[in-house]
Amino acid sequence: MIADKNSCIVVESLKDGLKVRLNVKNTDNKDEDINQFFHILGSVEQQKGLCELVNGKYEYTIYSSCCDLTEAVYYYKTYDSYQIKGLKLFNENLNSKDIISYDLISEENIYICKTSF
């Protein structure tokens, strides 16, 4: 993802061997821009059940991600959860020789609002 106040959000991806480039003008709202990025990226994601590999196993998009290079935040969402999560990389010692890993948060949180009829 390329994003700053004077540019566009640009997503480049390969789908069926073809390069797909989608873009949209940035807003002044970073959360809205991140949300828009994931909507664009969703246009090339692979759903389970569409492309069978072998013995009932299917190709699908496990996760989608982008990185805010200014604030060093890695954003992602998984196939099993549409909620966008973020990891603040500046909270880690980036000069460490140790590998840092995180567990993927993939549980879906579905909120049911009370309604009155």
Residue type, 82: Y
* Residue 40: Cβ within 10 Å count: 18
Confidence of residue 20 (pLDDT cuts 50, 70, 90): low
Q: Across the strands, what pairs with 73?
A: 68, 88
Residue type, 100: I
Lowest mean pLDDT among 27-31, 62-66, 70-74: 27-31
Mean pLDDT over 99-117 rounds to: 82
Mean pLDDT over 48-66 rounds to: 88
pLDDT in the model for residue 54? 86
pLDDT in the model for residue 111? 82
Mean pLDDT over 6-11 rounds to: 53
pLDDT in the model for residue 1? 44
Mean pLDDT over 14-27 rounds to: 63
pLDDT in the model for residue 55? 85
Q: Across the strands, what pairs with 10?
A: 2, 23
Residue 15 makes CB contacts below 8 A (sequence gap 6+) with 44
